[in-house]
Amino acid sequence: MVGIDDVARAAGVSTATVSRTLSGRGPVSAGARARVLAAADRLGYVVSSSASSLASGRTRNIGVLVSLPDRWFFATVIGAISARLLPHGYDITLYHLTDDPAQRRAIFERSLRRGRVDGFIVLSAWMSDAELDELAGLDLPVVGVGASPRLASLAVDDEAVGRTATAHLLDLGHRRIAHVGLSADDPFHIPTRRRRGWEAALGGAGIPASDHDFAAADFTFEGGRRAARTLLAGAHRPTAIFAASDELAVGVISAAREAGLSVPGDLSVVGVDGHELSAFFEITTIDQFPQAQGERAADAMLAALDESADAPAPALPFELVVRASTAPPRA
Amino acid sequence: MVGIDDVARAAGVSTATVSRTLSGRGPVSAGARARVLAAADRLGYVVSSSASSLASGRTRNIGVLVSLPDRWFFATVIGAISARLLPHGYDITLYHLTDDPAQRRAIFERSLRRGRVDGFIVLSAWMSDAELDELAGLDLPVVGVGASPRLASLAVDDEAVGRTATAHLLDLGHRRIAHVGLSADDPFHIPTRRRRGWEAALGGAGIPASDHDFAAADFTFEGGRRAARTLLAGAHRPTAIFAASDELAVGVISAAREAGLSVPGDLSVVGVDGHELSAFFEITTIDQFPQAQGERAADAMLAALDESADAPAPALPFELVVRASTAPPRA
DNA sequence: TTGAAAGCGCTAACAG
DNA sequence: CTGTTAGCGCTTTCAA
């Protein structure tokens, strides 16, 4: 293992100068710098992360907290974070917050406290107050993605997302517009906010509350299908459904087909996310650019660590993408 | 920050005894042990990972190399690895191997050499010989998932997968069975192996090679759709298609619908993976249990690190799951 | 079974 | 701008 003194010897300088050169902190003359770089390169020297961390207090590693690492949206965000951080010399370590209380405690009380990272990125993971306290107690920068009451977060305005989707349906002439999403009372909960947007848009259009059909579903294909079955079996069938995610929208469309309804002929459907499946199935959606979200989260973290990246605006962009699953209702 | 000497003082022992107790290495009397544990717990002491790593040479961190972290299959495997390693006190750090040569070099020449991990799990990521050399030069345990010529790997017998899928179709009475998959000549390439299995099964059934229809596709929904369009437009239409993944199978079915063909009436389709969509769309598939693959990879790593986990068998299980996308051909 | 003490490999004052 | 040196917080001989 080639160490810093090997490089120092080869370059004819002290280890301090090698350290200064390689870390970019502190003054080094051009000549010394060149010799150090050459020697390091020739010897294939790479700083030992543990030695460097111990001495400097910096790890060059970012923790990512996520509860659903295998959902397309989060997997995409994680991939983007990692690709963005790498050129800055940061690695990412993944903390998978499962539902198991013992595992969660192990993470919050041990893993996170080992000092392995310089900061945390939290991906729409729900955390208890105690867990949030634990996180805050670490005294490290935290960047959230997805609204959270207690975390400085980058977030899409999910109420606006709900309003936009619903407005699109209203503009097409629909009046009976149902919603499929998660039900929760937490006003910071993303699905709740999308639902509020839907309600607000309907209210703004003067549509009576009795017409507001909502069906709860978890964020899976099957959940969307089940919720839509209920909605479509009702006496008072909606002509359009706003689904809180693209996975749900796929489920909704499947239920419509089962019921012998054509999309968009008999039923219009809008999803949210910009999932690859929404393009594949030609589903109208609100794209929220997960890739860009990951990149911005990374930038926000770099800014917090003072790595000279500009802090991105906290509001994340979204965009209605009209495709073949929405059309005016049948006369 | 509470350190090891705070605990030592509180427990009335030396730091050496605290270290021995907490790491489980070396003899400690029951009494001392109890007092140390109590003190550590009361003070909320957690070992500093960099200090511990520097002194011991062990990081309790595993690197995961993956090129497609956002594909469902790999995202699922990663989630399972992380959940399995956590109870053993291991974190995972993700190395995202993109196509960008500069990024790859940064990973292999710097990131991986910083000594941040005790071993690597490689998820079906293609690596050049130079990169494999680099990895081997690190002299750390490496566990591969998915066949690779130069890595000790856990792997499904993908030729058997191809044979099983094709045999299912043959058993139903199909004779014109096409295949959609990646094309490559690398015999260790997973898609190539599945294709070989398909060819072998057809050959075994005495079906002339001229009837072997193959269409190349990347592993996406859209890729499956495009490949199937070609196959279905041909003069000599297949009555069944074996797709090398469930994503591809979804694309194939979509193309069949476009062409006015019913599935399985006019066309039978088999996929591979056990993707949640295959259940949702009732697609016959070869499930290869990605969750279990992640767990086994983790176990293999723990065994290599001598953490008393039993090394799993290198052959991974798979299982034909017959659903509604396959049926005998029309008479 | 225990404690003293010498590092692990690097960084950051500090003095020059 | 550069070198000397004292740690960073643990682990691990070694001797007792």
Q: Which of A55, A71, A91 is the last residue of a domain?
A: A55
The runs of H, that is alpha helices, within B62-109 are 72-85, 101-109
- pLDDT at B29 > cutoff 90: yes
Domain limits for position B240: 158-287
Residue to mutate among B110, B116, B133, B277, with most A CBs inside 10 A, is B116
Q: What is the pLDDT of residue B186?
A: 58
Residues A120 and A223 in one domain: no
Q: How far is the CA of A233 from the C1' of C1 (A)?
A: 75
**CATH number of the CATH domain containing A174:** 3.40.50.2300
Residues of chain A with pLDDT > 90, as a percent, come to 83
Q: What residues of A are in contact with residue B254 (Cβ under 8 Å)? A: 280-281
- Residue B119: beta bridge partners? B62
CB atoms within 10 A of CB B315: 11
Confidence of residue A185 (pLDDT cuts 50, 70, 90): low
Lowest average pLDDT, out of A21-25, B185-189, B264-268, goes to B185-189
Scanning residues 241 through 280 of protein chain A, those with a beta carbon under 7 Å from any atom of strand C turn out to be: none
Within a domain: residue B325? no
Residues A30 and A113 in one domain: no
Calculate the average pLDDT of chain A: 93
Residues B296 and B269 in one domain: no
Calculate the average pLDDT of chain B: 93
Within a domain: residue A312? no
**DSSP state letters, A285-325:** EEE--HHHHHHHHHHHHHHHTTSSPPPPPSEEP-EEE--TT
Residues B20 and B118 in one domain: no
Within a domain: residue B321? no
Q: What are phi and psi of B309, to 5 degrees?
A: -80, 145
Residues B188 and B270 in one domain: yes
Within a domain: residue A331? no
Q: How far apart are CA A325 and CA A281, in angstroms?
A: 9
Q: At B37, list the tokens.
A: 């544990």
Q: How far apart are CA B8 and CA B23, in angstroms?
A: 14
Rounded to the nearest angstrom, the minimum Cα separation between B54 and chain A is 5
Domain count, chain A: 3
Within a domain: residue A279? yes
**CATH number of the CATH domain containing B25:** 1.10.260.40
Which DSSP helix (H) or strand (E) runs through A241?
Answer: strand A240-243
Placement of tokens 């088999």 in the chain: B270
Residues A165 and A279 in one domain: yes
Name which residue leads in pLDDT, A306 or B90.
B90
Q: What are phi and psi of B154, to 5 degrees?
A: -85, 135
Residues A150 and A178 in one domain: no
Confidence of residue B307 (pLDDT cuts 50, 70, 90): confident
Residues A192 and A261 in one domain: yes
Residue to mutate among A96, A134, A258, with most B CBs inside 10 A, is A96
Residues A46 and A88 in one domain: no
- From the list A48, A96, A110, the residue facing B83 with the nearest CB is A96
- pLDDT at A187 > cutoff 60: no
Q: How far apart are CA B297 and CA B300, in angstroms?
A: 5
Q: How far apart are CA B180 and CA B224, in angstroms?
A: 7
Alpha carbon A78 to its chain centroid, in Å, reads 8
Beta-carbon contacts of B7 under 8 Å, excluding residues fewer than 6 positions away, are B15, B18, B36, B39, B40, B43, B45
Residues A122 and A234 in one domain: no
- Residue A190: beta bridge partners? none
Within a domain: residue A78? yes
Mean of the pLDDT values across residues A181-193? 72
Mean of the pLDDT values across residues A289-310? 90
Q: What is the pLDDT of residue A147?
A: 66
Name which residue leads in pLDDT, A309 or A324.
A324
Residues A182 and A268 in one domain: yes
Residue range B315-331, pLDDT digits in tens: 899 999 999 999 999 87
Q: What is the pTM of this model?
A: 0.93
Are B86 and A109 an interchain contact pair (Cβ–Cβ within 8 Å)? no
Q: Which of A55, A82, A98 is the last residue of a domain?
A: A55
- Residue B62: beta bridge partners? B92, B119
Within a domain: residue B315? no
Beta-carbon contacts of B208 under 8 Å, excluding residues fewer than 6 positions away, are none
Within a domain: residue B329? no
Residues B233 and B171 in one domain: yes
The beta strands (E) that lie in B97-239 are given as 119-123, 142-145, 153-156, 177-181, 214-216
Tell me if B248 sits within 8 A of B217, measured CB to CB: yes
